[in-house]
Structure 1
């Protein structure tokens, strides 16, 4: 009996045991996601509604759980709707749409959002960070995976806006008005001076 027990112990000692690598935590699969956004237009203007289409493609062989898709709206946006998502921010220049979704392997998902643009005067009233006189409506979309603050993929869409007429700080006609006044003075000034001198000579002679 003892011989059998000793043999069993020796045989167990010689068998290969599980390696340390079997207990090591597995690295998460690499994430490969792309995103594209478009509103189907190249230009826009105040009061116009922009219909955005966001396409997210999971190129990897593994499902991505809990992806967060965020779209920041143009600076002059006054209202936003995002079917299936939520809208954050109420002030002009602060609104964004957010969706949360699982992305199956090799799957493509489409999200939509609508934004209505306001005028540039809305920027000065709300204190938005966009530079005065901006001539483009810019929207950006980024995809975040897990709890990461760094986006996995981003894309953007730009629309040209009509040029705004320059305004002076004092409410006048700006530099163009000053230029016209200077030209008028240069052309009419000599004639006015001669007329004044002629009147003085007539007055003295009388």
Structure 2
């Protein structure tokens, strides 16, 4: 008799389970809210300079974000890059990427650091603005293996153009033209002045 009663109770619980779950749905997990900022503390730079980046990631939500992926794309002319606790991808000039993986505790702020050394610009005419080129770095945070970033930020530094070496040659040409003109017309001007002075006397 007890066995029959137990079976009846188990069957009743089995059928009532889904109905009870439907009657009391569980709250969805809180949305992930993360912000990121990156800066090297500079407004302009040039080839050969080392840029020291500070990346600040803030978990604004009430839950831990596990194994977040923080990726930084270095400027296009980067020749070398370092970052403590990160993986650096890419070789040669350009295409350097730094990747960190870290848990982000609730309401916590974490700081990551990276450095990049800039090389020469491949093309002086390919400028983002008249007279300058920009060294751009971007940082994005990815959560849960997603290919879409949860948050991104960027840093831009102007790289003023320098005049090509041929510019100095052009200046010397103009100086030479001026000197030749002075040599040709100088004596004539002196004679004209002397004649006028003599005529007045």
Pair in the same fold by TM > 0.5: yes
Whether the 8 Å contact between 1:57 and 1:106 is mirrored in structure 2 is yes
- SS at 1:18 equivalent: helix
Match of 2:158 in 1: 160
Match of 1:202 in 2: none
Using the TM superposition, name which of 156-165 and 19-28 deviates more.
19-28
Q: CA, structure 1 residues 131+105, in 2 after alignment: closer, same or farther (shift >3 Å)?
A: farther
Match of 1:191 in 2: none
Task: Write the deviation string for residues 87-122 of structure 1: whole angstroms up to 9, x where unpaired.
Answer: 0011322001110000011010000000011111xx
CA distance in 1 between partners of 2:125 and 2:153 (Å): 21
Q: How does 1:1-206 map to 2 (within 5 A)?
A: 17-20=16-19, 22=21, 27-120=28-121, 123=122, 132-134=126-128, 135-165=133-163
Match of 1:199 in 2: none
In the alignment, structure 2 segments of 5+ residues that lack a partner are: 182-201
User: TM-score, normalised to structure 1's length?
Assistant: 0.67
User: TM-score, normalised to structure 2's length?
Assistant: 0.69
In the alignment, structure 1 segments of 5+ residues that lack a partner are: 125-129, 189-206
Match of 2:187 in 1: none
Say what the alpha-carbon RMSD is for the aligned residues.
Answer: 3.8
- SS at 2:141 equivalent: strand
Give the number of aligned pairs: 168
CA distance in 1 between partners of 2:142 and 2:125 (Å): 28
Q: CA, structure 1 residues 131+90, in 2 after alignment: closer, same or farther (shift >3 Å)?
A: farther
Whether the 8 Å contact between 1:38 and 1:157 is mirrored in structure 2 is yes
Please report how far the alpha carbon of residue 9 of structure 1 lies from its aligned counterpart in structure 2 after TM superposition.
5.2
- SS at 1:17 equivalent: helix
